[in-house]
Amino acid sequence: MRPELSIVIAVRDNWRQLAECVDSIAAQHWPPSLEVVIVDDGSITPPPAKAVESMCQLQLRLVRQTGLGIAAARNRGLELTKGELVLFVDSDCLLERRCLWNLVEATKCHVDEVAFQFSVSSLERNLVQEIDALRLRMVQESLLLGSRHILYVNTSGFAVRSSYVAETEAFFDVSAVRGSDTIKLAQLIRHGKKPRFLSKCKVFHCPETPFLKYALKCFRVGYHDSYSHKQLRASGDVLLGWTQKFQALRRTWSVSPWNGKRIRCTLSALLCFSIEKLGRATSRLIGIRPGKTTLLSVRMDVIRRSELIYRIVTNAERNRGLLVSYANAWTLVQAKRSGSFQSLLSATDICLVDGVGVKLAAILLNQPRVRKTSFNDAIFDLCRELANRNLSIALIGGEEAVLREASAAISKVVPHLNVILQSSGYFSQAEEESLRTELLKRKPNVILIGMGQPRQEQLAATIRPLLPQSAICCVGGLFDYIAGPREWADLARRFGLEWAFRLFNSPKKTAQRYLFGIPALFGYIIKEQAKQATRFVHRAGHP
């Protein structure tokens, strides 16, 4: 029987508060038929016995994933739900006793609505909770419309009909570090489906963070929320500004008695607002925006490690196929010299920024800052998530001895990974035909090809039509990295000296790339700067 309601809760190590949250769900007055999906987003500590005991009271499913972020965790939980309604709750929240009953009744009354925002407050048991309660009250009062819709989404208590979820691929945007709920609000507004505010559905957010840590968190929130605020601003609705915040504070002062506790809370809240504003201003100056950028005619994707893993795994799991490659300084030089190689890169779904040279080129060409993302950083978490979802992988590239060592190293870290094919990257044309036949027979979910550019992209282009449901990743020297002394390689990469480490360890392989490629790259950058200057002068002369 299909449940009326599915509840999705993402958690990372916060097991004690999660147990209290589950208890508040189990204690609901006349609860509907429901299921609870808890997604463990890379917890270090296992759930304690008390948390497990609380979970046993409900029809509950616990799913583990590597630390891919809360948006990815909620999407993962959403994939596993079966209810007609899906409710998102944070692990540090408590539901009022009639909360779920009131939700079901409201959805019966408002059959045309697809999204429902709960009334979120806090228990005010410490200073941080007092600030949180004040902030939530201000925001909800200021953004509530006369139609009883609200320009606000807070996943501490946010419900949506599963029929609407089915219309979107990834419900929450995993490219955002924070603010995926704000991005979802912008999408709802664009679709003409503003959330209905349910004042009778009360949920209490109970953060237990010390004040100093909370203040630092406000800076991070402001820094990472700038992308989501830009999305909301583009939807045509005005964000809550300082004037509205002061008006909300004035209303709070008029109904609340003046005392030391209230003054302390108000001043602390103003300080946190200012810190958040500082974080947002800092982001505008030096922040990195997700999305696409083009350098020297090569299109690249500014993407985080967790988003890369998420997109590879979800596309492989859904049999949708994906082609991933990367661009470093030598890639830019090769693409300038070879139009066919540039075309191969343009055909990829994701082209990573992989190298300090590319980051420097972006600065010199007055492009937005870019983020370096490498398979060297992501490989073990990627393999863990593939193992979590029972997906298979094929390894192609490197010398036979190097590939054996790399495969053994991966199996040691992720023993349950299903490696269904291994092949050296040095093969004849007849052996390549045999490899394609074997791939077609085994149909791996993910294929890693580490043969260097442009050979790996050429092989990927021939394999992709045969295996349109597989995620194919061109990984360069990944297998050499895994099989080699990773401690020194990691240290060199941390200081941006990975190129020097590779040049020292493999001078024959890398001399051309670094000793000739880097000067050639700077030559192309100077030419591009000259073109930009010429265009600027031309525009200035013809207003």
Q: Do 48 and 161 have their domain in common? A: yes
Give the residues across from 34 on adjacent strands. 5
Query: Quick one: average pLDDT of 214-231?
Result: 86
Q: Do 190 and 51 have their domain in common? A: yes
Cα 267 to Cα 207, 292, 518, distances in angstroms: 19, 41, 53
Q: Say how far residue 33 (Cα) sits from the centre of its chain.
A: 32
For residue 492, name the pLDDT band (cuts at 50, 70, 90).
low
CA atoms within 13 A on the CB side of 516: 8
Of residues 418 and 540, which shows the higher confidence score? Answer: 418
Can you give the pLDDT at residue 243?
63
| pLDDT tens profile 159-191 | 999 988 876 778 999 988 888 898 999 889 888
Can you give the pLDDT at residue 491?
59
Q: What is the CATH number of the domain that holds 401?
A: 3.40.50.10700
Q: Do 383 and 493 have their domain in common? A: yes
Assess if residue 373 is contained within a domain: yes
Q: Do 198 and 307 have their domain in common? A: no
pLDDT at 201 over 90: yes
For residue 60, name the pLDDT band (cuts at 50, 70, 90).
confident
Give the helix/strand (H/E) hosting 473: strand 471-474
pLDDT at 242 over 70: no
Q: Do 194 and 322 have their domain in common? A: no
Q: Do 15 and 162 have their domain in common? A: yes
The runs of H, that is alpha helices, within 365-485 are 375-388, 400-413, 429-442, 455-463, 478-483
Query: Quick one: average pLDDT of 17-22?
Result: 92
pLDDT at 72 over 60: yes
pLDDT at 291 over 70: yes
Of residues 76 and 50, which shows the higher confidence score? Answer: 76
Can you give the pLDDT at residue 104?
93
For residue 30, name the pLDDT band (cuts at 50, 70, 90).
confident
Q: Do 197 and 344 have their domain in common? A: no
- Which span out of 30-44, 74-88, 287-301, 482-496 was modeled with the highest average pLDDT? 74-88
Q: Map residue 65 onto helix, strand or coil.
A: strand
Q: Which of 155, 182, 207 lies at the terminal end of a domain, its last residue?
A: 207
Assess if residue 267 is contained within a domain: no
Domain that holds residue 334: 299-500
* Count of domains observed in the chain: 2
Token pair for 186: 């912008």
Q: Do 460 and 337 have their domain in common? A: yes
Assess if residue 384 is contained within a domain: yes
Q: Do 312 and 186 have their domain in common? A: no
- Label each residue of 240-264 as H, E or C: CCHHHHHHHHHHHHHHCCCCHHHHH
Token pair for 327: 């661009």
Of residues 469 and 481, which shows the higher confidence score? Answer: 469
Q: Map residue 10 onto helix, strand or coil.
A: strand
Can you give the pLDDT at residue 464?
95
Can you give the pLDDT at residue 327?
94
Q: Which of 155, 183, 207 lies at the terminal end of a domain, its last residue?
A: 207
Q: What pTM does this model have?
A: 0.90
Q: What is the CATH number of the domain that holds 180?
A: 3.90.550.10
| pLDDT tens profile 114-131 | 999 999 999 888 999 999
Q: Is the dihedral of CA 178, 184, 189, 190 positive or negative?
A: positive
Q: Do 166 and 309 have their domain in common? A: no
Assess if residue 532 is contained within a domain: no
Can you give the pLDDT at residue 542?
57
Mean pLDDT value across the chain: 87
Q: Do 37 and 160 have their domain in common? A: yes
* Amino acid in the structure at residue 403: L
Q: Do 181 and 314 have their domain in common? A: no
Q: Say how far residue 236 (Cα) sits from the centre of its chain.
A: 25
Token pair for 126: 């410490």
* Amino acid in the structure at residue 507: P
Q: Which of 500, 519, 535 lies at the terminal end of a domain, its last residue?
A: 500
Query: Quick one: average pLDDT of 49-53?
Result: 67
Of residues 402 and 257, which shows the higher confidence score? Answer: 402
The residues, ordered by sequence, that sit 6+ positions from 415 with a Cβ below 8 Å of its Cβ are: none
Assess if residue 239 is contained within a domain: no
Can you give the pLDDT at residue 88?
97
Assess if residue 292 is contained within a domain: no
Assess if residue 330 is contained within a domain: yes
Can you give the pLDDT at residue 245?
61
User: What does the DSSP 8-state code read for residue 83?
Assistant: -
pLDDT at 431 over 80: yes
User: What does the DSSP 8-state code read for residue 144?
Assistant: B
Give the residues across from 482 on adjacent strands. none
Triad 372, 476, 177: Cα angle to 5°: 25
Token pair for 50: 């008390």
Assess if residue 524 is contained within a domain: no
Q: Map residue 105 onto helix, strand or coil.
A: helix
pLDDT at 306 over 70: yes
